[in-house]
A and B are shown apart, each in its own frame.
Chain A
Amino acid sequence: MVHVIEVKELTKRYGVHTAVDALSFTVRPGRVTGFLGPNGAGKSTTLRLILGLHEPTGGSVTVCGQPFRECPRGLRHVGALLDAHEVHGGRSASAHLGALARSNRIPRRRVDEVLREVGLAEVARRRIGGFSLGMKQRLGIATALLGDPPVLLFDEPLNGLDPEGVKWVRGLFRRLAAEGRTVFVSSHLMSEMEHTADDLVVIGRGALLAAETLTEFSARGDRRTVRVGTRNADVAALTAVLTGEGATVRRDADGDGNADGSGEGGGALTVTGLDAARIGDLACHHRLPLHELTVRTASLEEAFMELTADSVEYLAGEPR
C-alpha cells in the first residue's frame, strides 16, 4: 500500500462560511510537503478533515487508501501534531504519552524513547501546564512519533521553537522523509518551508492556489526587478526615459535603502522589464546621476505573497 494522503474535491462549510472549498491534492511518501496559506486559509480545518475530526460537507479524503476514521486505532497509521496547546495541562508528559501509547497497544518503552528523541526526558514527570510553547511543540512532535507511523501531519510545528529547535525539527522532517514516510507540514510563512519542503500545497480562502514542487514554485518568483536610486529632482525625468524604453516603473513609497539616506532627498524606483546595464547606459546617456542600481530576484516569500495576495483573510489596516 502506498502511504499517500489523497484529498478530492474536499469541501467544508460552517453555516454560510466556506472554510475549505473543493480542495484536491495528493501528498506523496518520501518527501516533505509544505502546506502553506495565510492565516484563516483553512489549513487547520483541512488537517482536521484528514484526521476525520471534522466531517466534510462534500468530497473525500483518504490516508493510505481509506478514510482515517475507519482505523480503530490511529497512532500506527498517522502521527499528528495539531495544536501544541491541545493537551490537558494537569498531567505529566510521561502520563500523557503513556495513556496514548496504552490506548494503541504501543509498548511503554516507546514513551521514553520519543521523550528522549525530542529532548524532554528530563522534564517527563513535570506537569505539562508549566511547559513553554516550545516544550509543548516538542511534546506534540513526540506524540506524532509515538506510533512510528508512515504518515505524519504537523500544524505549524515551528511556532515557539528556539533557533536550535527549528534546526532540529527541519532535520527531523528531512530524516522522516528520507525514511520513506509521508510528511505534511503546515505553515503560514514561506521562509519556514524554503529549506525543508520538497513539494508545496498552497491554499487561500479554502481553495487550492498551487500544488507543485518547490523548484516549480520558485520559478514563479524568477522575475527580476531592478531597484534604481536617484535624486528626487531627477525622478520624473528618469521615469520618463525608462518608460519610454518599455519598462514598468514603480516609485517606492519610502526608500529604505541608500537612496533615501543619501543626503538631500533621494527617490527610489523599482523597474521591471529592463536590465541593470541598460538602465545604467540610459541614465548616463541622459546625464541623470544614479545613487543605486541593484538587481533583485523575487524571493519565494514574495512569490507566495503575490500568489496569496487576493486571498488574505485578515489584512492589517493602514498604519496610523
Chain B
Amino acid sequence: MTTMTTTSVPDTRGGAVEPSARFRDLLAAEWIKLWSLRSTVWALVVTALTVLGFTIGTAYDQYRYWPDDPRHTAAFIKDGIAVGLIFNGNAATILVLALGAFGAMSVVGEYSTGQIRTTFAAVPARRSVMAAKVTVMAGVTAVFGAVVSLLSFCATQAILSELGVGVPIGHPGVVRVIVASALLPPVSALIGMALAAVLRQAGAALVSTVAVIVLLPAIFSEDRYWSAVIDHSLLLSAWFRLTRSGVYSGVAHSWTTGGAWCVYAVWAVVAAGVAVAVVHRHDQ
C-alpha cells in the first residue's frame, strides 16, 4: 500500500505556472459529478417511464373505450382533447415533483455529506461552482424534458391516430404543449436547487420543494381574484394555462399565454439567481 511516486518540488514563485481559471472546467467537473452517481440515471429513467405510463395509459383508455359516435369524433379534435392528451395533468405533476426533488438532492447531497467543503476548498469561487451546477442541471433536465415530451407526443398521437383523431405537430397548440411540458423539468429542478441551497438540509428542502411546486397550486383556486393572481404566478398553473384550451382550460380569471411563459421565465431566473447568490455568504 505504500508505493511512492515522486512529487515535484513546489513552484517557489507562487503558482506562476498556474493555468487561468475557466468556467468550462467547472462545467466539466459538475458534469462528471452528476453522471458519476448511479442514482442520476435511475432517477431519470424511472421518472420518464412513470410519466410516459400516465400519458400513454390515458391515450390508450380513449382507444379502449371509444364510443362509436361520429359527433364525438368531430368534437374530440375541435375541443382540444387530442392536444390535451399529449401531456396530462397527472403526468405533469409527477414530472415536476420528481425533477424538483432531483434538483434539490443535487445540492443537498453535497451539504449532507460535507462534500461541499471539499468542493469549495478546491474552488474558492463559490458562486462560479453554483453557476456551473445550475447550468449543467438546467441543460441536462431540459434535454430530458424535451425527450420525454416528444416521446409522449409521438406515442399518444400514434394511439389516437388508430381512431383517426391524432393531431400532427403542425396542429395549432401542439408545439406549445410540447415546449411547455419540456420546460417543466429544468424550471422545477432549479426551484429545488434554490430551496436546497437556502435550507441546506434534505428534509426541509424536499418538503418546501413539494410545497412550492405542487401544494401551492392546489391551495390557491380560481374562485377569488386575489387567489387567482397568486395561482397564476405558479409554475404548474402556468403549465395548465399553456396546455389546456377552450372548454377544458377551467380558467375563471383570464390570463395570456405570454403571461404564462413569463411565469416560467421568472421562476427559472429567480431560482438560478438565489442558488448562485446564497452560497457566497454562508459559513460552509
Residues of A whose CB lies within 8 Å of any CB of B are 1, 3, 48, 51-55, 64, 68-78, 80, 82-83, 85-92, 95-96, 98-100, 102-105, 113, 116-117, 119, 121, 143, 145, 148-150, 164-165, 168, 176, 179-181
Q: Is B74 an interface residue, CB under 8 A from the partner?
A: no
In the bound assembly, the distance between CA atoms of A85 and B118 in angstroms comes to: 10
In the bound assembly, the distance between CA atoms of A200 and B83 in angstroms comes to: 74
A82 contacts B36, C-beta separation under 8 Å: no
A100 contacts B25, C-beta separation under 8 Å: no
A86 contacts B118, C-beta separation under 8 Å: yes
A78 contacts B283, C-beta separation under 8 Å: no
In the bound assembly, the distance between CA atoms of A118 and B8 in angstroms comes to: 16
In the bound assembly, the distance between CA atoms of A113 and B28 in angstroms comes to: 21
In the bound assembly, the distance between CA atoms of A153 and B80 in angstroms comes to: 65
Q: Which one of A3, A69, A179 lies within 8 Å of B14 (CB-CB)?
A: A3
Residues of B whose CB lies within 8 Å of any CB of A are 1-5, 7-15, 18-19, 21-22, 25-26, 28-30, 32-33, 36-39, 109-110, 113-115, 117-125, 128-129, 281, 283-284
In the bound assembly, the distance between CA atoms of A247 and B217 in angstroms comes to: 83
A99 contacts B29, C-beta separation under 8 Å: yes
Q: Which one of A78, A85, A104, A145 lies within 8 Å of B123 (CB-CB)?
A: A104
CB closest residue in chain A, given B37: A90
Q: Which one of A74, A96, A102 lies within 8 Å of B25 (CB-CB)?
A: A102
A71 contacts B124, C-beta separation under 8 Å: yes
B36 contacts A92, C-beta separation under 8 Å: yes
B130 to nearest A CB, angstroms? 13
In the bound assembly, the distance between CA atoms of A315 and B114 in angstroms comes to: 28
In the bound assembly, the distance between CA atoms of A96 and B110 in angstroms comes to: 12
Q: Which one of A73, A100, A168, A181 lies within 8 Å of B2 (CB-CB)?
A: A168
5 sample A-B contacts, Cβ–Cβ < 8 Å, listed by A number:
A70-B124, A82-B118, A85-B114, A102-B32, A103-B26
Q: A99-B36, A165-B1 are in contact. Are A74 and B28 (CB under 8 A)?
A: no
Interface SS majority for chain A: loop
B121 contacts A78, C-beta separation under 8 Å: yes
CB closest residue in chain B, given A64: B14
Q: A149-B10, A150-B12 are in contact. Are A72 and B29 (CB under 8 A)?
A: no
Q: A76-B18, A102-B25, A148-B7 are in contact. Are A68 and B32 (CB under 8 A)?
A: no
A103 contacts B124, C-beta separation under 8 Å: no
CB closest residue in chain B, given A83: B114
A91 contacts B37, C-beta separation under 8 Å: yes
CB closest residue in chain B, given A165: B1
B1 contacts A117, C-beta separation under 8 Å: no
Given pairs A52-B120, A82-B117, A113-B5, 15 additional interface contacts (CB within 8 A): A1-B12, A51-B121, A74-B123, A86-B115, A88-B115, A90-B109, A91-B33, A99-B30, A99-B32, A119-B3, A143-B118, A148-B7, A150-B14, A179-B7, A181-B10
Q: Which one of A3, A149, A168 lies within 8 Å of B1 (CB-CB)?
A: A168
B97 to nearest A CB, angstroms? 22
A226 to nearest B CB, angstroms? 43
Question: A119 to chain B: which residues have CB within 8 Å?
Answer: 1-3
A117 contacts B5, C-beta separation under 8 Å: yes
In the bound assembly, the distance between CA atoms of A90 and B124 in angstroms comes to: 23
B35 to nearest A CB, angstroms? 9
A145 contacts B32, C-beta separation under 8 Å: no
Q: Which one of B9, B121, B281 lies within 8 Å of A74 (CB-CB)?
A: B121
Question: B125 to chain A: which residues have CB within 8 Å?
Answer: 72-73
CB closest residue in chain A, given B22: A105
Q: Which one of A1, A87, A179 lies within 8 Å of B118 (CB-CB)?
A: A87
B21 contacts A90, C-beta separation under 8 Å: no
CB closest residue in chain B, given A144: B121
Question: B37 to chain A: which residues have CB within 8 Å?
Answer: 88, 90-91
Q: A92-B36, A98-B32, A105-B19 are in contact. Are A73 and B123 (CB under 8 A)?
A: yes
B118 contacts A91, C-beta separation under 8 Å: no
In the bound assembly, the distance between CA atoms of A117 and B7 in angstroms comes to: 9
In the bound assembly, the distance between CA atoms of A56 and B87 in angstroms comes to: 52
A100 contacts B29, C-beta separation under 8 Å: yes
In the bound assembly, the distance between CA atoms of A78 and B117 in angstroms comes to: 14
Q: A53-B121, A99-B33 are in contact. Are A116 and B10 (CB under 8 A)?
A: no
A157 to nearest B CB, angstroms? 15
In the bound assembly, the distance between CA atoms of A96 and B115 in angstroms comes to: 10
Question: B113 to chain A: which residues have CB within 8 Å?
Answer: 85-89
Q: A1-B13, A3-B14 are in contact. Are A69 and B122 (CB under 8 A)?
A: no
CB closest residue in chain B, given A73: B21
Question: B284 to chain A: which residues have CB within 8 Å?
Answer: 48, 53-54
